Homo-oligomer: A and B are copies of this chain.
Amino acid sequence: MIDFNFVSPTKIFFGREKEKQIGDICEEFSFKNVLVVIGKSSVKKSGLLDLVFSKLKEKKIQYTLLEGVRPNPEISLCKKGIEIARENNIDSILAIGGGSVIDTAKNIAAGVYYDGDSFDFNTHKFSPTRALPIGVILTIAAAGSELSNSCVIQNDSINCKSGFNSDLVRPVFAVENPELTYSVDKYQTGVGIVDIMMHTLERYLQDSSDNELADGFAEGLLKVVVKAGYVAINKPNDYEARATLMLGSSYSHNGLTSIGKRFGMPVHQLEHALSGVYPNVSHGAGLAVLYPAWAKYYLVYDFKKFATLGRRVFDIVGEDDLEVGRKFIEELENYFRYLGVPLTYKDLGLSNVDIELLTNVFSQGKTREVYHREKPMNYEVAKEIFKMVKEG
């Protein structure tokens, strides 16, 4: 176990109709003048936004709306949000949505206290020193941003997608009502499950710096998320399954499953290159396509841990670790197939993928050599993995 500092201070309000308590909750956290951040239109159509406004009004809490956050959220809207926040003396932010909306809120929260370009946080030119408190009403189980310290933003003008981590932007509260995710369609549910699993799988297979407690949490989380995914993908209104996915999303990315471990996200690095070069590729879909290829490449270096995953997550029986590890990857692909998420470049809508370009973009990343100590994921390895992805 390596030395670490860890804090996950977000208060979770979990359960049926919890969003109706938003007035009381904002009051509990002294939110007096709130910037409400939302995506395109679904929270308007569903009536959730009106509900929130009425609850804030009841408590005489002021609010200003910032709408229009898109998937792969763009820095320009963050900058607009920072201006609005300053002009209106905003003291807090309420994000209603999923990862994109929450990450937009995070950039704004820190950007209000920074005179420069708030994309500087994401390019690591400047670290946040202070941030407005952020609250969340979660509407999709996927990114885990509701409890995480990470914020990924796209900058279209320089064609760059990049993230920063700061405990200052961890939300102070997250309202999680699984019923709000009943309307998430089958495809988004599937790639959401992939995203949840990847946040844990990426932390699980990490060099030599294991922490058995964190790994035990990870195995438990993966097992129940897989099981809940089988149900939720066919029964979108199954409360228990949606609840497990929602809570699984939060605990996949708050850092619990990587406490005491060296921490890198090799497949995320590959995926950032993929969706960087091909912007129509969504994050979860890209991860689903890349992970099996990555795992097949690294199986021989970490077969004992792959085997443990096989036994714990998919109940695979067998004595031979390498074989059980191989079966784990096979079962994972079968599971992804069941979920209906992309498995090949063709599934992503790509043909004649430019492996050379992908590898070059990957090589510009900064943390690519975290994994594996015996075989760092350098240019050659990444190229090989991009090649190993099935064409179609």
By a beta-carbon cutoff of 8 Å, the part of chain A in contact with chain B is 1-16, 18, 211-213, 215-221, 223-225, 227-228, 239-240, 243-244, 247-248, 251, 256, 259-260
Contacts and interface: CB of A to CB of B under 8 A. Distances in A.
B15 A4 contact: yes
B18 A14 contact: no
Given A216-B223, A248-B213, A5 B11 contact: yes
Nearest to A224: B212
Nearest to A16: B3
Given A213-B220, A216-B221, A247-B259, A7 B10 contact: yes
Nearest to A3: B15
A18 B1 contact: no
A212 B243 CA distance: 10
A12 B7 contact: yes
A227 B213 CA distance: 11
21 contacts: A1-B15, A1-B243, A1-B247, A3-B14, A3-B15, A3-B18, A4-B12, A5-B11, A6-B11, A6-B12, A7-B11, A8-B8, A8-B9, A211-B244, A211-B247, A213-B244, A213-B247, A213-B248, A216-B217, A216-B224, A218-B220
B7 A9 contact: yes
A376 to B, nearest CB: 25
A1 B247 CA distance: 11
A321 B243 CA distance: 27
A221 B212 CA distance: 9
A8 B170 CA distance: 13
Contacts of A9: 7-9, 11
A2 to B, nearest CB: 7
A69 to B, nearest CB: 27
A95 to B, nearest CB: 18
A9 B173 CA distance: 11
Nearest to A225: B213
The 4 closest A-B pairs by CB, nearest first: A216-B220, A3-B15, A7-B11, A9-B9
A138 to B, nearest CB: 14
B213 A224 contact: yes
A228 B210 CA distance: 14
B217 A221 contact: yes
Given A1-B239, A6-B12, A6-B14, 16 more contacts: A1-B247, A2-B15, A3-B14, A3-B15, A4-B14, A4-B15, A7-B12, A12-B259, A211-B247, A212-B228, A213-B244, A213-B248, A216-B224, A217-B220, A243-B260, A256-B256
Nearest to A240: B1
A309 to B, nearest CB: 13
A260 B14 contact: yes
A217 B224 CA distance: 10
User: Residue among A213, A218, A251, A259 with the most chain B CB within 10 A?
Assistant: A213
Nearest to A212: B224
B12 A212 contact: no
